[in-house]
Structure 1
Amino acid sequence: MSQANGSIIKIQVFAKVNLALRILGRLEGGYHSLETIFQNISLSDRLTIRETPGRIIVHCADPAVPEGEENTAYRAAEICLQRLGTRNRGVEIRIEKGIPTRAGLGGGSADAAGTIVACEHLFGALPGGDTTRYALAASIGADVPFMLCGGRALAWGIGERMLRMPVKRKTPVLLVIPHIPVSTSWAYRALDNAQAEGDNTETLELNGGPLKLDELIGAMGPVEGMVNDFEPVVFAHHPELREVKRLLIESGAAVALLSGSGSGIFGLFESLKKRDRAAKILDVGEDFRLVSACFIEEAYRILE
């Protein structure tokens, strides 16, 4: 990866939805084994990353985004700089949020991936290339490796193993974003507790058989197999989200699903006309907002 001219880089990083998400079991160390289909969508954050002397600084106007060591972009920069062996050099990261937080859309993971890309452009390639890059990404979060890969991918393990697939169409998407943040750690605990109590939930008993390639690479992904194992436990605590999913289907979505651990719900539409019509007629109340987007083939875009 070549070094950028100057000491500043601007990157647009894109959100994702999960076209399917199965939680296969709990692993040692608190991780979970999963199987999912990631798909990037056109909703984005913008990062401006500048070289600084010896410190990592994060700025974001969104009060829901931490600016210290708990920020994923901060952690990505810290690990990157350690692996690169830089001394007395740091980065200032400015994040302009367009991706809602705690909505299952991968905003924090996208920011982390964008920071990895930026650090390599500013300071040189990581030793070990892709092997190091993707291992570093996986150490930050399960979605981060995909945010370096982009487009659409079948992922398994803890998200670090991926098979990239083509995106054949800019399928229209309508997102319903509630003012109900859902913590990923809470969602995993709730799912673990449900399983420990013998409650297999509505989705864990479902098995659609072998995955079919033509469905995986279809315009909307595997519509018949779109299952998210988080839905039962999240919907049990937030029944209004189940109602939102129902309303999306009634408004014309071919399929609707919770993204990640939520709280965002997305609907996929056969045409822009149908999507835009749904956006006009959908009555989800004041506690929700609607965002239009579409499938895209990239996870990030270097602006300058």
Structure 2
Amino acid sequence: MRTIALETYAKVNLALDILGRREDGYHDMYMVMQTISLGDTVTVTETAEGFALLVEGETLPRDSKSMEQQATETFFRALGRPVPGLEVRLEKRVPAYAGLGGGSADVAAVLRCLRNLYCPEMSRLELETIGARVGSDVAFCLRGGTCLAQGRGERLTDLSPLPECAFVLCKPSFGLPTPALFARVDNQDLGPRPDVDGMAAALERGDLSAVAARLGNVFEAVLAGEEAEAVAAIKRTLLRRGAMGAAMSGSGPTVFGIFPNRAAARGVYGDLIARYPQTYLVSPVKKFRELE
């Protein structure tokens, strides 16, 4: 029986705009996404029969058929062969309901493991197409790096890499399930929109200050009550302690700040982790090359 283990990588949304609701019920997105060095470990092991998912480090609510199982079935359907016996083990470090794409990153890692085990000649584009059938962020989590994401998030364009920097991530004690945030968006005034095109141009110039100045997320406009207060308080702390810019990632509630280097970020990281246990000091990760 063969076993393969891979590290996953979460993401932050440097800019997130929602263009409108589509006829299929999804929303058209316009985003700049960035891979970060916070992730889980995914191990796939061949077994005699069946599919089993084991989650370590965190208890997650799961439907009768997990995204990992859906991804596995979609992968083997594309190969035209039955699903073999498999056990998938997740060692969780990325918090759930945080806006960091941890679930999508785990699904992407399962697909990478299956490709390596069963179809190493499969191209990146083929694997991304399979991933997009399972979840909107999975294609990006397979590619990594810095990307413009459109459509549901599955239409990707590589952008110039984010210059070297550091992120402090801070998640309040509550979670915000993505469907609940999308339900608030329709027919709402989302206020000023992030300058996605300006951010892409700043990345092309390698101008970290201009990137940080253009951080933005329209989901922040639909936060209410204690949610809005907690996100705003963390942003104020990050900016007061030297962040070049700060914003909420994805559907939240994790807030991130950009710093020129890890040394500049350590002070506020220490302050925030004393109050918010799910605080992380991480770095940007460049595009994955294994699927080229």
What TM-score does the superposition give when structure 2 sets the normalisation length? Answer: 0.89
Residues 95 and 30 (structure 1), Cα distance of their counterparts in 2 relative to 1, 3 Å cut: same
Cα drift, residue 237 of structure 1: 5.5
Partner of 1:3: none
Partner of 2:160: 166
Query: Match of 2:278, SS?
Result: strand
For the aligned residues, what is the CA RMSD? 2.5
Cα drift, residue 167 of structure 1: 2.2
Query: Match of 2:202, SS?
Result: helix
Aligned length in residues = 288
1:264 paired to 2:254: yes
Residues 158 and 88 (structure 1), Cα distance of their counterparts in 2 relative to 1, 3 Å cut: closer
Distance in 2 (CA, whole Å) between partners of 1:95 and 1:271 is 30
Among 38, 44, 48, the alignment partner of 1:43 is: 38
Distance in 2 (CA, whole Å) between partners of 1:212 and 1:283 is 27
Distance in 1 (CA, whole Å) between partners of 2:151 and 2:29 is 6
Cα drift, residue 68 of structure 1: 5.5
Given residue 84 of structure 2, which amino acid in structure 1 is its aligned partner? R
Query: Match of 2:39, SS?
Result: strand
Query: Match of 1:230, SS?
Result: helix
Among 277, 288, 292, the alignment partner of 2:281 is: 292
Cα drift, residue 269 of structure 1: 0.4
Please say if residues 84 and 123 of structure 1, whose CA atoms lie closer than 8 Å, have aligned partners that are also in contact. no
Given residue 12 of structure 1, which amino acid in structure 2 is its aligned partner? E
1:92 paired to 2:87: yes
Given residue 262 of structure 1, which amino acid in structure 2 is its aligned partner? G
Among 70, 78, 88, the alignment partner of 1:83 is: 78
Residues 72 and 109 (structure 1), Cα distance of their counterparts in 2 relative to 1, 3 Å cut: same
Among 202, 210, 216, the alignment partner of 1:215 is: 202
Distance in 2 (CA, whole Å) between partners of 1:244 and 1:118 is 37
Contiguous gaps of at least 5 residues in structure 1 = 1-5
Partner of 2:219: 230
Partner of 1:152: 146
Among 175, 180, 184, the alignment partner of 2:174 is: 180
Residues 87 and 54 (structure 1), Cα distance of their counterparts in 2 relative to 1, 3 Å cut: farther
Query: Match of 1:25, SS?
Result: strand
Distance in 2 (CA, whole Å) between partners of 1:228 and 1:207 is 7
Once the two structures are overlaid, the 10-residue window that deviates more, 133-142 or 230-239, is 230-239
Contiguous gaps of at least 5 residues in structure 2 = none
Provide Cα deviations, 1:202-243, integer angstroms capped at 9, x if missing partner: 33xx36485364413436473332210101112555121111
Please say if residues 147 and 157 of structure 2, whose CA atoms lie closer than 8 Å, have aligned partners that are also in contact. yes
What TM-score does the superposition give when structure 1 sets the normalisation length? Answer: 0.86
1:135 paired to 2:129: yes
Distance in 2 (CA, whole Å) between partners of 1:98 and 1:135 is 27
Query: Match of 1:292, SS?
Result: strand
Please say if residues 152 and 297 of structure 1, whose CA atoms lie closer than 8 Å, have aligned partners that are also in contact. yes
Given residue 261 of structure 2, which amino acid in structure 1 is its aligned partner? S
Please say if residues 16 and 105 of structure 1, whose CA atoms lie closer than 8 Å, have aligned partners that are also in contact. yes
Partner of 1:243: 233
Residues 209 and 96 (structure 1), Cα distance of their counterparts in 2 relative to 1, 3 Å cut: closer
Question: What is the percent sequence identity of the aligned residues?
Answer: 29
Partner of 1:202: 191
Please say if residues 53 and 88 of structure 1, whose CA atoms lie closer than 8 Å, have aligned partners that are also in contact. no
Cα drift, residue 53 of structure 1: 3.2
Given residue 83 of structure 1, which amino acid in structure 2 is its aligned partner? A
Partner of 1:103: 98
Please say if residues 35 and 145 of structure 2, whose CA atoms lie closer than 8 Å, have aligned partners that are also in contact. yes
